[in-house]
Structure 1
C-alpha cells in the first residue's frame, strides 16, 4: 500500500496502525493539500458482506458526530475491492501507548484526558449512538495533549429503544461490561462501565482483570468486583476511586445515570472537600423486596420429625382409655411373632435389592464432540456429567490456543462418575520470546525479524520525532521477551525521525552567526552571493525556507549573502561630432565679398588647440569637428574671422555630452 494513490487523491505515505478488521495509513490529500488518516479494510474481508457492512457502519455512525474530541470523518469510498474511510490525522500516540510508556499518569493529567473523553461519549449518546468498544486503543492523544475518540466500528445508532445484542460480544474483553459479556442488554451504561475500566488503567497502569483466555476474563467481569485502585496507587484521591467504583458497578442500576453525571463528578474530583470523602459502597438491597421467594411444596418436610410438625385440632379425639386397659395376652404374642417375621423378610429383601443399589456407581459417556471446543465449555460439560477435570497444556500447530486437542480417556468412552478426565488444551503454535530490536536501524531490525520467521507484510512501521539518531527503532510491539508466534504476530516498529522546529529568521545576520546556527541544529546550508545596495556585505539578504517555517534536522537551507553594492563600471571616453558655423552676412554674400576663417579645437587627445580648418569663404558654412572627451574632461572650439576670434569659445563637457 505504501506509495499507492487511492481514488487518484490520497497518496499513502506510511502505516500508522491497524486492528483485526482494517489497517490505518498516513496519507496526503492531493486536492486539499493536507495530511489525513486512511482506514482500509483488510483484503481478506473484502468479500465478506458482514465485515463490509460493519465497516460502512463505522463511517455512518461517526459522520453524524461533530465534536472537538471525536475524530472527524472526511470521506468514505471504495475502489475496486478496496474499502476505505478518510479521517482526520492526529499526530501523537494512542492512550494505550501512552500508558505503556509512562505507566500510571499524573492525576491532573488523568482528569483532563478523562473529561475530554467523557465529553465526546456524552455527545455520542446525545445523538443516540453507543460506542460499545471504548478502550485506550481507540483514544488518540495529540502532541498538544488533546484527546480524540475514534473507531465507532461497532457502534449502532439507536432508536428510541435501547440495543439488545444477543448473538455475540463485540467489544475488547478487558473493557467489556458485564451485560456485554453475557450477551444481554447494551446501552449507554455499558459505555460508562468501559470508561470506568479505562480510568482504572490510567490511574494504575494496568487493567483490573487478566486471564489465560477471553472467556476467563469475561467471567471475572461478571462475577468479580473491580479491585480497589488505591491498593495499587495509594496516592490516588478517594474521590477518584469512587468514580471508578461507581462506574464499574456490576448492576447498571448502581452506575452513573449518564456520562454527563460522570463528567460532572470528574470536574469536582480534586476539590479539597472531596479528596478524602467516604468510599463508595453499593447499597444493600432489601432482601424481602428484591429476592424471589421459592415456592415451598407441601411434601417438602415429609420426612421431618413429626413431633415438630404435628398440630392437634379441636376435632381430634383421645383414644378410649378403657379400651387400652383391656389387651388380650394372646393377641399380644401373635403380634410379636408377626412383626419378627416381617422384619426377617424385610432384611432379606434389603440384602438383594437395596444394598446393591447403594454400592452401584453410575456410568456416563464422554461426549464425542469435545475436540476443538473451548476449554471452558468442555470443563462445564464434563463437570455437569459428574466427572473430574484435569487440564494439561501443550503446543499444537492447527488447533487454536485455548481449544481442546484431546482427552484421556478418549471422547466416546464410557466411564464411572467421578472419574478424572485429563483434557489436553492447545497453547497454539510453539512460541518464542520476542526479540529486542530497539536501538537497531529500522532496516536491520526488519531483516532480523524476517530471519526469525516473521512475515514481511506483518511488520508495520510508525514514526516518532526524537533526538535519537534518525531511523533507529525506539519502541516496538510486542515488547521484548513477550511470548509470541512469529508467523502470526503483527509487529509495529516505531523509529525516530528528526523533530520539527521553527526555523529562525536569518535575514540581516552575519555569515558566521548563520553558519553556527545551522550547524548546531543539523541543517544543511547552501550559500549564494548577490550585490545589494541595502544589505551590508557578508550579511543575509534572503533565505529559503523562510523564517518561522517548520523544518527538521537534515533540511537544506538556501542562504543568499550580500556582496555589498555593485561596483560601477569605469566611464568610457566619448568620441563625438560637434558643429561650428562660420557666418557670412547676406549683404556680403550679395556683394560677393568673402574673408578668411580659421577654426581651432582642443579635446582629450589634444590638450592644446590645433587648427581644424583654415580657408576663404564667401557664404555661411557649418563645419563638423570630431572630438574625443574623457570622463571629467572637456573639448573647446574657437572660430577666427580675418584673424580675430569671432564669438565665444564653444565648450563641451563630458557629462553634458554623455547626457545628450
Structure 2
C-alpha cells in the first residue's frame, strides 16, 4: 500500500508557496518532503515538524535554531536552508534538495570502502564541520545518515537539529542527545556539553566504519555501547582489515582518543591530518579493496599509466653475399680470395638499414642512461608540509634536499593563518634533487564589513550584500509598524559587523502592520470574501468540502488561518465550505429494551432523549421513536424514544 497517498500534506501548498509533491523520509521530529517552490520554480526539500510537537516550545526553538545556524554557513558541503516559516499547525524549513543517497545507504550496499573512497567522503564532511566550528557551532549528531552523497558525487552534511554554540551547555536533565554509536565519552558523562571535539570523535567512528564496514563498538543494548565508549579504545581498523595502512590506524586513533585533550581541536585540524595521511599513502594502499567490501570494485589499474622497462633485442642486419661491405662502422670478416681484394664500390648515401641499426643502438644507450639516471638518486619526493608554518615547511624541504621557491599568500577559510595551504609540486610528487618547491601560505579567512541594508527592498539588499563579498542567507518575515512591507528590518549579523568573505547574512523582512483575521465561519462565500478583502487579505476557496452539523451547506465551515490569528496585509485565507450534516440511517429500536435501544442509537452517532411520561416511569420497552427506523437523519442529531 502506498503510504504517501495517505499523507495529508502531499498535494497541498504550504504558506501559499510550497507545493508538496512526495514524502522522502520520516524522522522522530519531522517529515521531509520533495516540494516545488512555486514562486522561484525550483525543486527543494521541505522539512516539516510533526504537528504534535509544534505545541512544544522547546522543539520549535530547536527547529528554528537549525535554520538560523545553517543560514550562517555559506559552505558548499552544507545543505542550505532557504526559508523558515509556519502555516497553521505546520512549522517548516525549506532546504536544498539533494538527489542521491546517504552514506548509510552506501555502507549498507557496499560494506567496507576502499581507503581512497573513505577519505574522499571524510574530507568534505570535515570541511563542512570545520566551517561550522570556526563559526562557533557544534553539530553533535554526526553519523552516516546525516552525510548526503548526490548523484553528481557532491558530499553534503545535513541535519543541524542538535547544533549548539561552542560556549553553550544544554540543559538536558541527564538525557543523552545524539546517536549512541557515535557519542564521544564526554557527551555521555556530561550530557549537553558542546565542544568541536565531539564532532571529531564521531567522524573518527564514521571513518572506522567506512574502512571496516562495522561500527567499532557494538552490544545487545545501548547501555553496553555507551559503556564501551567510556572504557574501551576504538580498535584500529587494520585489526579487521589486515594490511590496511598504519597511517589510517593513526588517523582513527587520533580522532577517537577517549581523552578529548588528545584529539585534534576541531574538524579543520582533523582535515589537515587526513590530508597529510593521504599524502603518505601510495596508490596501491589507497585503492586496496577490503575483504569486507560487498563487491570487488574496479581498481582503475588500467587508468594509470605505467612505464615497464625491458631489454631491447637488436636483430643482426642481413648481409649481401654478392655485394660489398654493408657500411662503415660494421666490422665483418671478408671472404678470402686468390688475388687481392677488389676495392669496394662507392655509394652516394648509406643504405636505410644502416640508419635503422644506428637508431637502435642509440635507443639502447638512451634507455640505459635513463634507467641509470632514475636509479642513481637524482629524484626525491616532496615531503608533506600542509598545515605547517612557513618556517617548518622550509626546514622540511631543506632536509629533503629541496629549495623553497616563490612564496605567495592567499585567503583560506579552513587553513590556519600563517600555515601552508598548498605546494607546487604537491606533497608526494616526484621531483629532482635541489629543485625548488613553491609555497602558498594562508592569510586566514578574508573578512569584510556587513553593509547596513535596513529599509532596503529585499532585492536591493541582496545585491548590496553580494557586491560586498557576502551571501544573502535565509529570509524570515516579521510584522513591523515602522518598516514598509517588503523592506529589510534587520540582518544577522548586523550592519558594520566584520565577517569572513562568503559568509551568509540572514535577512529579516517586514510583513507590514499586523492584521487580526476576522471570523467568517458560517457566512456565505460572498460575505466572507467581502469581510476578508476589506481587512486587506486575499481569499482562496478550497476544492475540498467537509460535513458540518452546525453550518448550512455552501457556507464557510472552516478557515485557515483561524480567527484571532495575526496575518500580514496581502496574506491568503483559505475557506473550506460545508457539505451540510452527514446523513446516517436511523436504526429501528421499537420493541427493544431501553438500554439496548440507547446503545444502538449512540453507536450510530445519535444523541438519545427518553420520553417516559406518567405511564413509562417504570417501563423498560421502547414503544415509539421520533425518527422511524430506516429513515436518514443528520449524524449527531437527537432521537427521542418513547418508553411505556
Query: Taking CA–CA contacts closer than 8 Å with sequence separation of 6 or more, which of the two structures ends up with the larger relative contact order?
Result: 2
TM over 0.5: no
TM-score after normalising by structure 1: 0.40
Larger radius of gyration: 1
TM-score after normalising by structure 2: 0.41
